[in-house]
Structure 1
């Protein structure tokens, strides 16, 4: 069949349409190029943090968060920064730190300054449960996804319901306290005395202690609080000693943890089972009293170099090289892991859109140095070390059993003889 030729008029209109399409396409390409040119990659990704660099919380703030954050920034910038697909390049990271002087109100004000005035791209949390709860509404108000490291509460469901931009990384009392009680039952503890700091951290832990001890056959003749500012725990120690209990638990902050470890040997009291407070997992705690001076002491949180995950060993090696001291084994690896999550979320989203990044953090799983992390209702469910114990200078995981790196020692060895 022969092809029929189109009439001249139709040929004319086809030519007109083709030219018009080419002009429109050319304009679209130029417009797209112009937009792309306007959206230049930032010189740096700026991350802000208002945290205790001085005051009573500074030991925890610097050891647990600031140092791991600095290590992650150094590691990330060594490879050129965070890769952002939108700009098809790596962008270096700049960490901006403000000292909140261990004051909650100051922490909130400085966080808002970082967000509103300094216009940082992302925010990191302060140190301590109360400060984290104070900052969570700020993170949500300004749509800044934030992963709290040192926040611990059994009431997170109700607290996080109204702060969807705030996530919690740390292993929570709802898993730590049952692990402690199960461990006491395993080794044969029959009686326990519990003392605790009279603030949110202590009070909420003790609620769970009462619940889980109450479900066991362990008796609890002493449950006593002490003020955060206390400088002397010897009256409580003497009272506990007089009761002749098997186990002694202290739910306090680093100053209380160090204080009681100094006063108990001085008073000659050595319980069969002793779990100390926040800071037990610090290598500075072991160094302050010597390996023999902490031998057999249990502590909450135990993320050690023996974790079977890529990068865990390298984290501890890098920390020691950078700060000339060993990393503690609680929130420190978790703080580093939280920034691994942020970096991976940025790559998945493709740009620095904080709302999209928040959504990815809320639903995805991330490979980190403490394992595959994911959040359920804002709380991290991956925590490979609930309870640790110092054994000959090494902090071993003793609970939960699937992650155990050594069998628990019971009864606790004697304190070293006074010099």
Structure 2
């Protein structure tokens, strides 16, 4: 999933940052040399405003680790994962990765959650010449720095995220397309880029912008934003949401008794457990989002992942769960193929090879950017359905217009 604005909680407020150590006990029988456990380090915002999204991601990491050790670990050694809580603070995430590298002596790294955090965290990894596979964080600026050790474990980045929805609007007869749109967005390196692309592409299709504003990541009251949108009366709302802010805006729009004909939100609607609880299941009806993963996709290991995750956690996996699991798959594939922990060899192998994952085959360019397609999803009858691309559809119909709030 995607990243955030320029402000965060003061580092001092996180002085008691939690360190969570997962130690798997299986003894590996692989081809590597014997020795102590291989240490993997990661940081996640397990507290703070996006905890509802990052906790499922953490569960995805834990499931991957458990299965990895059950299968013999890496290089004949068991694998440990140490996760530090960064509270969604940029200073803290930098401190955490420095600690994981210099003090904890991590052999390998896995990325954190959001573009806001992966932007500085990946710089720490690059400076230390360590492979950095990130499960979320598709902001374009992350991949324009010429990094050699950075790899994104989703099918595509922020620039491509709008494509499926824009194509849907383009497919409509001209007189059925929305005439006006509102573009509220969290100030975030991922959503900033995504919403800008949405606005430009939809403008080309004749959709006039009647509202476009950014809000702070710390925003919890969306009443004034919703009031301004309601006064503008857009046919379409395209919301650059990150986590709970998606539900926050929906509830504020309900207070205004304003419901657009079409509504798209990044990220938030894919939180399939917390989002419908927050807004009310009936109020999810017709809302669009884009995801990297489908639980029904026919990729190797995907059905097994869904079954195992649900059994372990008592709930179905989210997009964030799958992306974290995928990052683990990418790291695992590289280590097993190379047969060592040599960071240069691992990065070189990933630049030259395709990895089969539960989000599909991933192959990267020199920037660490994969070349794949995102999925367009829509809430229908209380279910998270997929409406594009054609080969990933779970339903044949698209709800348009969206019904009013219940």
Structure-1-length-normalised TM-score: 0.82
Counterpart contact for 1:192–1:220, Cα < 8 Å: yes
Give 1 or 2: higher helix fraction.
Answer: 1
What residue number does 1:66 align with? Answer: 58
Larger Rg: 1
- Secondary structure in structure 2 of the residue aligned to 1:228: coil
Distance 2:378 2:165 in 1: 11
Q: Residues 178 and 40 (structure 1 numbering): CA distance in 2 closer, same or farther, change over 3 Å?
A: closer
Distance 1:81 1:301 in 2: 30
Q: Residues 384 and 316 (structure 1 numbering): CA distance in 2 closer, same or farther, change over 3 Å?
A: farther
- Which range moves more in the overlay, 239-248 or 136-145? 239-248
Deviation track 1:189-219 (CA, whole Å, cap 9, x = no partner) reads 2221111112323322233223212322222
Counterpart contact for 1:246–1:272, Cα < 8 Å: yes
Alpha-carbon deviation of 1:384? 4.8
Alignment of 1:101-250 (within 5 A): 101-159=87-145, 161=146, 163-170=147-154, 171-187=156-172, 188-250=177-239
2:337 corresponds to 1:345: no
Deviation track 1:144-195 (CA, whole Å, cap 9, x = no partner) reads 1111222122345423x1x211112233222112322222233422221111
Q: Tell me which of the two structures has the higher relative contact order, counting C-alpha pairs closer than 8 angstroms and 6 or more residues apart.
A: 2
Distance 2:180 2:345 in 1: 51
Distance 2:292 2:380 in 1: 13
Distance 1:210 1:415 in 2: 25
- Secondary structure in structure 1 of the residue aligned to 2:268: coil
2:49 corresponds to 1:56: yes
Alpha-carbon deviation of 1:370? 1.4
Distance 1:240 1:131 in 2: 30
Distance 2:293 2:402 in 1: 22
Counterpart contact for 1:302–1:387, Cα < 8 Å: no
- Secondary structure in structure 1 of the residue aligned to 2:80: strand
Structure-2-length-normalised TM-score: 0.85
- Secondary structure in structure 2 of the residue aligned to 1:205: helix
Distance 1:310 1:101 in 2: 34
Find 1:322's aligned residue among 312, 315, 320. Answer: 312
Alpha-carbon deviation of 1:376? 1.5
Number of corresponding residues = 368
What residue number does 2:365 align with? Answer: 376
Distance 2:33 2:141 in 1: 44
What residue number does 2:9 align with? Answer: none
Alignment of 1:77-92 (within 5 A): 77-82=69-74, 84=75, 90-92=76-78
Structure 1 residue runs without a partner (length 5+)? 1-38, 85-89
Counterpart contact for 1:387–1:400, Cα < 8 Å: yes
Distance 1:207 1:270 in 2: 23
- Secondary structure in structure 2 of the residue aligned to 1:70: helix
Structure 2 residue runs without a partner (length 5+)? 1-31
Distance 1:151 1:248 in 2: 23
Distance 1:201 1:178 in 2: 15
Distance 1:386 1:40 in 2: 41
Counterpart contact for 1:190–1:218, Cα < 8 Å: yes
Distance 1:232 1:96 in 2: 35
Q: Residues 256 and 150 (structure 1 numbering): CA distance in 2 closer, same or farther, change over 3 Å?
A: same
